[in-house]
Structures are given as structure tokens and as C-alpha cells.
């Protein structure tokens, strides 16, 4: 046995590797170790001259001496057994400091975590990876865990260890590629990153946590420890009703919002609103406007404001631009208490190349493909996820569940689905790699999207997913067991392009493009569609929806009102980007708030009032939403009146009376216009976009008209109406 005065002998090569930060397995050397049948404690304590290990009662259990390598200390433990809890006391001159030794603690990750992660089926991945404040073996601290299978060494660094990668070198967990460590004394709010040495020994730029729950304010890039546990939600009533409110046959009208530019605090330098301020201001506004949902442009942490969140790095972190994760949850709960659903734009298609992000995370292509023909997105200069790698697919699918479970999000709108489905998306010949069958379809991405929807809906059928998919891919919103991708809804990009193109024409030319407005009905019931007038239509030089309308002054606003009437009467759920509900005049600017001062002008406030009333009518009238995805809920009355640019149709439902829509897209009033109707009786004029209260000319039908037994449009009965210029009218059959 060693003499008591002789310190434990530490292998010189191991000591050098520890001090230089190159040792891959410090748990094999540091902390309590059995050496030649006797327990010793070894510690790396930069800056110390002397170190002691003390029991909880203050008794010294080991005096650690320098062991030949600068900053490395080792000493024998008094007694025969393995030391229990202890703290290290370090001294340099008159300075003394105490801390718990991170290398005395056992692992936290369990065998099940390792097994499911290796399988790619760890659906609560965020509970295993990331930074979690916990109590471990009687000590409070943070457990850090990160996936880096190609790394030679991984350390967590932060203010708590002077960003010194030697102090908290992590423990490798077998073949999983996961590294973990318990850092005693670290708490919520701590800044941290991962220092990684790649397989070749090179130290990479410090990396933010891929499963971090918080981040610093940009342009700073460190992750922040956030505690997600212990919240008592108060939205049970909402979640119990959510399934019925989000079905394909319920009224869904979505207000799409970029939180950073909806409103700003001018008196405080134009800063964006906080989550709490948005709960106070945005939530009641959206509720008053009659929307059923708020859809948020991505709130996952992102480094560049100008990406609007569509180039995220912190997929598990609500952006700190508006507050903490807890405050974001407060916002979501405020929405639910106001009976508003919350949809997040979710971006599993690509990620930016910022050095602190996911790119070459452990020194090699890990989250992305190594071949740039598969792994680099030419349009956005971003990296594409490798969906064929089970751990990457697991990472993304678990992220979807994370937002739904941990933050009570009601739905996910998946961005840029078309770019995921096709290997040759926006690529020239020779710049893409065919699939195993030689085709252009991205089979791995297709499998990922199907699996994501199966997992999400299998976990909670009351939530919703929607795809921004701009091609004619079949069955986007069909269940996967019927050959579909499994989404709940699909954005109808074709409808948006066709109708906006038509509306931008001078009315004198519309007769030649008449069926751009009817074409969408040829496929309207092939998917569960959302009709989107989104942020994409009011950026990059496209102007606003108002500026797309022809004419000047009164006619421009009349065109817009008629178009909104057409949209709300058309089958499909509704989506309107913020500002368009009051006819924002200029193109959207993410660096400035909306032009709320426009509401002092009658035409703008009239459009706002119209959108509020359209939402109310849509919600309250079964025939306007019951058949949004059912062919039996729609019937043309007049689809071919191209010479006068008039359209008429019936919306029907099982539980309510039918509604007849009539739209006039010329500036010509038609005072005795006859329309065939599906039933005899009085037809109440439920809404007229030309009403004075909306800024129109006030021409209408005095509240309603009685049908006459005059055959018209192939029907036995008809009504004779005043059809104002550039207008949309809703008539509902009155019932006794």
C-alpha cells in the first residue's frame, strides 16, 4: 500500500491530456477513483494552490496535493470506503472558494433513454437532452446532455466555469453518441455552450444547445438554462373543446402575426412588445376581430431578424425577443382563455449555417447531408436536414411534440413542404441526387412527414397540422393509411395565385380571365384547404393586398372589399396576414409596426369592420363553414357570366339554411339582377360589402328580398336584387 504521505500517482499522459483539455474520458481519472485498492480523489482546479475535500459536516476527508501537472490535484481519502458526498475547498493566497465536484456524481440518463434514442423513437427527447435544473444525489444543479457522436471530447462551458472547456468535460454514453454531465451549483438563467473537439482533434466554434430551452438576446448566441417544470396550466376547458373547434367542418379563421412588428413601443425606442404585452393587446384585438386562431411566424430562436424566424437555430427555445419561455406560455394561456387557438409556423426543412448552430455540429455533417447536392439549400443558403438519419428525424418529431405538449400549442403549420418533397427543388440538372429508384421524390422526407403527422395526431387528435405545399402533390391532407401525407390541412397556394392575379386586372379585362376565379372549385374538395393571404404576398416588392387592387380611391377599396367577400364565401378556411384586415397601404416591414394610424380614415376602418363582420358571419352561419371540405356543401348558380364578371353560388349545410353568394367584379351597378335560388321564401341580405358602414356606396336590398316563382339559372325560383358595383352579397334563406 502507498505511504500516506505519498500522493496517488496519476498517469503522466492522462494528466497532460486533462490539463490541456484533450482527455476524452475524465470520469476515468477525476473524482473518486480506486487506485491500488485504496480510494483517492483527483480534481482539476485551475488557479488553485491547494485543495481539500470536505464532508458535509466540514470534516476534511482528503488533502489533495499537486500531482506533477499544473492545476491537477490528487489525495488519498481517509477511511476504507468510497467517499460519499463531499465538496472541494480551493485556496490561492488569501482567496478561498468551495464547490461540489462534478466528477463525484453518477450518471442521470437511464438505459431507456439510451435505447429509445438509439432507435430514433425517443418522443420525449427534450426530457433527456438539453439543460435541466434538477436535484441529483441531494445537490441542486443542472444536468446537461447533448448528441455529438463524432466528437472526441465535449465540454459544457459557461460563466459558471469561466468558459473553460477543461472543467466540465462530459461523460460519453456508450454507442448513442450522447454526452452528459451534472454541473452542481448551476441554476436557471446560466449562460452556456458546448465546446467540442471533432474526430480530428480540432476544437470547433462554441455551439449553442440544439435542445436548449432558452437563448441570449441576439446578436449574442449563448444558450440559457430554463426550467420548464412545475407550471400549472389553466386551460383545461379550452383543450377539452379544441378537437371540435379545429375540425375540417368547423369555422377556422386565422390571423397571421409577426410578433415583432404587430405593434411597437414608440415611447421606448420602438421596441417590440413582450409576450405579456401581446397577451394584453393582441389577444383581445384578435378576439374582437372575430378570428378563431392566431398563427405566429416562427418563434423558435433565430439569429437574424430579417429571416422573420424562418432560419431557426434554437428549435426548442421560444425567442427571447419577447420574453422567457414562461412568459410565452402565459401568452398561449391568455389566447386559450379568450377562446383563440395558437398555431406556430414550424420549420423542419432547413437551418442556417451560423457557426454556433447545427451545421457540422460535432465536426462532421450530423444534422445535415454531407453532399451539398442534398444538404445545401441554394435558394436560402441554408442546410437541409438529413431525414434519413433516425436521430435527426427523432430530433424533429420530438420538437413538434415539445411545442404541443410543453407550450400547449394547438397546431403547427409546416413551412416550405414542397422544398422537402422534391430532391430537385429549385435545382438545375446535375445539381441533385436522385432517390434509390432514380426519381426526384425525397423518399426520406416523405417518410418523415408521414411519421410526424402520425405521431402528432396519435398523441392528441385534437391538434392540427397544416402544410404550406405549393405543388399538386396528391393527398397532402389525406391520412397516411390512405396514401396521404397525413396533414390536417393544406394551404391553397393555387387559389391565392389565381384570384390575386384576377383581382389585379382592370375590370375591363377581367372577362378574358373569368375562370381564374372558378378554377379553384375544380379541386376545392380534394384537400382540406386553407385560403391564405399570407405574409408572403406582402413582401419583396409585392406591395400590400390593397395595392394589388386596380383603380384609385373608392374603387380600389371596393375591389378589396369584394375580394374579401368572395374569399369568405368560398369553400376553405381563411387566413389573413396582419394589417390586411384594415387595408394596410404599404408593404410589410418587419422592422416597424403596422400603420395603425390608417384607422383614422374611413375607408380603412370600414375594411376592418367588414373583416370583423365576415368573421362573425362565417362563425355563426353553418352553411359557410360546414362544407369547407365537402363537395355537397357547394353548388354553382352562375359560373359562366364572363361578359359581366358576375359569379353566384350556393353554400349548404345539414344543420342550417342555405346561403347564396353573388359577386360583381365590374364597376357597373346592376339594379334588377335576377338570381336563381334553391328554395322559395324570403332571402335575408346578411352582408353587403358595398354597405356605407364599410365605406361603400350604400346600395343594397333593404335587408332582404322575397323569391318569385320565376325559373332562372336552372331553378324554379329566383330573386331580383340590386347588385352594387364591385361587391359581394350574402343572402340566407329565412326559416320560421
Which DSSP category does 38 fall into?
E
Catalytically annotated residues: 415, 468
What gap in Å lies between CA 364 and CA 378, rounded to an integer?
Answer: 20
Q: Report how far Cα 228 is from the mean position of its chain's Cα atoms.
A: 18
E-only strand ranges, 369-479: 376-377, 382-383, 411-414, 464-467
Residue that is written with C-alpha cell 454526452 in the block: 179
Residues 6+ apart with CB under 8 A from 330: 275, 276, 279
Residues 6+ apart with CB under 8 A from 385: 348, 349, 350, 351, 367, 368, 392, 396
Q: Which candidate, 530, 534, 443, places its Cα nearest to that of 487?
A: 530
Per the document, the length of the chain is: 736
Enter the C-alpha cell of residue 648: 353566384
The rounded radius of gyration (Å) of the Cα atoms in the chain is 32
> At CA 199, angle to CA 193 and CA 203, rounded to 5?
40
Enter the C-alpha cell of residue 365: 455533417
Q: Residue 499's CB: how many other CB atoms inside 10 A? A: 21
Q: Which candidate, 583, 576, 533, places its Cα nearest to that of 554?
A: 583
What gap in Å lies between CA 686 and CA 732, rounded to an integer?
Answer: 6
- 571 burial class (0-12, 13-18, 19+ CB within 10 angstroms)? buried
Enter the C-alpha cell of residue 524: 376545392
What gap in Å lies between CA 728 and CA 499, rounded to an integer?
Answer: 15
What gap in Å lies between CA 567 and CA 561, rounded to an integer?
Answer: 10
What gap in Å lies between CA 439 and CA 96, rounded to an integer?
Answer: 67
Is the Cβ–Cβ distance between 231 and 551 less than 8 Å?
Answer: no
Is the Cβ–Cβ distance between 728 and 565 less than 8 Å?
Answer: yes
Torsions phi, psi for 368 (to 5 deg): -110, 170
> At CA 648, angle to CA 646 and CA 649, rounded to 5?
155
Which DSSP category does 298 fall into?
P
Helix, strand, coil percent values for the chain (each to nearest 5): 30, 25, 45
β 38-44/72-76 pair status: antiparallel
Q: Which candidate, 534, 543, 539, 548, places its Cα nearest to that of 500?
A: 548
Amino acid at each position: 500500500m502507498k505511504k500516506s504521505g505519498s500522493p496517488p500517482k496519476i498517469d503522466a499522459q492522462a494528466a497532460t491530456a486533462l490539463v490541456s483539455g484533450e482527455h476524452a474520458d475524465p470520469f476515468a481519472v477525476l473524482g473518486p477513483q480506486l487506485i491500488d485498492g485504496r480510494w483517492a480523489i483527483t480534481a482539476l482546479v485551475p488557479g488553485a494552490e491547494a485543495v481539500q475535500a470536505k464532508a458535509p459536516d466540514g470534516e476534511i476527508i482528503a488533502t489533495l496535493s499537486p500531482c506533477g501537472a499544473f492545476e491537477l490535484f490528487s489525495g488519498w481519502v481517509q477511511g476504507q470506503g468510497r467517499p460519499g458526498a463531499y465538496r472541494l475547498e480551493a485556496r490561492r493566497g488569501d482567496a478561498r472558494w468551495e464547490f461540489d465536484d462534478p466528477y463525484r456524481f453518477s450518471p442521470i440518463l437511464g438505459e431507456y433513454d439510451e435505447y429509445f434514442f438509439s432507435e430514433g423513437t425517443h418522443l420525449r427527447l427534450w426530457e433527456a437532452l438539453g439543460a435541466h435544473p434538477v436535484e441529483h444525489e441531494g445537490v441542486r444543479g443542472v444536468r446537461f446532455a447533448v448528441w455529438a457522436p463524432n466528437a472526441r471530447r465535449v465540454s459544457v462551458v459557461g460563466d459558471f466555469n469561466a468558459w473553460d472547456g477543461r472543467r466540465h468535460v462530459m461523460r460519453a454514453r456508450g454507442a448513442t453518441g450522447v454526452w452528459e454531465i451534472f454541473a452542481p451549483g448551476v441554476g436557471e438563467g446560466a449562460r452556456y455552450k458546448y465546446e467540442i473537439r471533432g474526430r480530428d482533434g480540432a476544437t470547433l466554434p462554441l455551439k449553442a444547445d440544439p435542445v436548449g430551452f432558452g437563448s441570449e438576446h441576439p446578436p449574442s448566441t449563448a444558450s440559457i438554462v430554463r426550467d420548464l417544470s412545475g407550471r400549472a396550466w389553466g386551460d383545461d376547458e379550452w383543450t377539452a373543446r379544441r378537437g371540435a373547434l379545429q375540425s375540417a367542418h368547423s369555422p377556422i379563421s386565422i390571423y397571421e402575426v409577426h410578433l415583432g412588428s404587430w405593434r411597437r413601443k414608440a415611447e421606448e425606442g420602438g421596441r417590440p412588445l413582450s409576450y405579456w404585452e401581446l397577451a394584453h393587446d393582441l389577444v383581445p384585438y384578435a378576439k374582437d376581430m372575430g378570428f378563431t386562431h392566431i398563427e405566429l411566424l416562427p418563434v423558435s430562436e433565430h439569429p437574424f431578424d430579417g429571416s422573420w424566424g424562418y432560419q431557426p437555430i434554437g428549435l426548442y427555445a421560444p425567442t427571447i425577443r419577447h420574453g422567457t419561455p414562461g412568459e410565452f406560455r402565459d401568452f398561449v394561456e391568455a389566447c386559450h382563455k379568450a377562446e383563440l387557438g395558437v398555431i406556430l409556423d414550424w420549420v423542419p426543412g432547413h437551418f442556417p449555417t451560423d457557426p454556433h448552430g447545427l451545421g457540422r455540429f460535432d465536426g462532421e455533417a450530423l444534422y445535415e447531408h454531407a453532399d451539398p447536392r442534398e444538404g445545401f439549400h441554394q435558394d436560402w443558403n441554408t442546410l437541409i436536414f438529413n431525414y434519413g438519419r433516425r436521430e435527426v428525424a427523432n430530433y424533429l418529431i420530438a420538437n413538434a411534440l415539445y411545442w404541443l405538449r410543453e407550450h400547449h400549442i394547438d397546431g403547427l403549420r409546416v413551412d416550405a413542404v414542397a422544398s422537402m418533397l422534391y430532391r430537385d427543388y429549385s435545382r438545375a440538372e446535375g445539381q441533385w441526387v436522385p432517390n434509390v429508384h432514380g426519381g426526384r421524390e425525397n423518399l426520406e422526407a416523405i417518410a418523415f412527414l408521414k411519421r410526424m403527422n402520425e405521431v402528432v395526431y396519435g398523441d392528441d387528435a385534437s391538434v392540427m397540422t397544416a402544410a404550406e405545399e405549393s405543388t399538386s402533390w396528391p393527398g397532402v391532407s389525406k391520412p397516411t393509411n390512405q396514401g396521404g401525407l397525413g396533414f390536417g390541412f393544406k394551404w391553397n397556394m393555387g387559389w391565392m395565385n389565381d384570384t390575386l392575379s384576377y383581382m389585379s386586372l382592370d375590370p375591363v379585362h377581367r372577362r378574358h380571365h373569368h375562370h381564374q376565379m372558378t378554377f379553384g372549385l375544380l379541386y376545392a374538395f380534394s384537400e382540406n384547404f386553407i385560403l391564405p393571404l399570407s405574409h408572403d404576398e406582402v413582401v419583396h416588392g409585392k406591395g400590400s393586398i390593397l395595392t394589388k387592387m386596380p383603380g384609385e380611391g373608392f374603387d380600389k377599396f371596393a375591389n378589396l372589399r369584394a375580394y374579401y367577400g368572395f374569399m369568405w364565401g368560398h369553400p376553405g378556411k381563411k387566413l389573413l396576414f396582419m394589417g390586411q384586415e384594415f387595408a394596410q397601404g404599404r408593404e410589410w416591414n418587419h422592422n416597424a409596426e403596422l400603420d395603425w394610424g390608417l384607422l383614422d380614415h374611413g375607408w380603412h376602418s370600414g375594411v376592418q369592420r367588414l373583416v370583423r363582420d365576415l368573421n362573425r358571419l362565417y362563425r355563426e352561419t353553418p352553411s359557410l363553414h360546414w362544407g369547407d371540405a365537402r363537395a355537397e356543401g357547394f353548388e354553382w348558380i352562375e359560373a359562366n357570366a364572363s361578359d359581366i364578371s358576375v359569379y353566384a353560388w350556393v353554400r349548404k349545410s345539414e344543420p342550417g339554411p342555405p346561403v347564396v353568394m353573388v359577386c360583381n367584379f365590374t364597376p357597373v351597378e346592376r339594379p334588377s339582377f335576377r338570381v336563381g335560388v334553391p328554395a322559395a321564401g324570403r332571402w335575408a341580405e346578411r352582408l353587403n360589402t358595398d354597405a356605407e358602414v364599410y365605406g361603400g356606396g350604400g346600395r343594397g336590398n333593404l335587408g332582404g328580398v322575397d323569391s318569385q316563382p320565376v325559373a332562372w339559372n336552372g331553378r324554379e325560383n329566383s330573386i331580383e336584387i340590386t347588385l352594387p358595383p364591385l361587391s359581394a352579397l350574402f343572402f340566407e334563406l329565412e326559416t320560421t
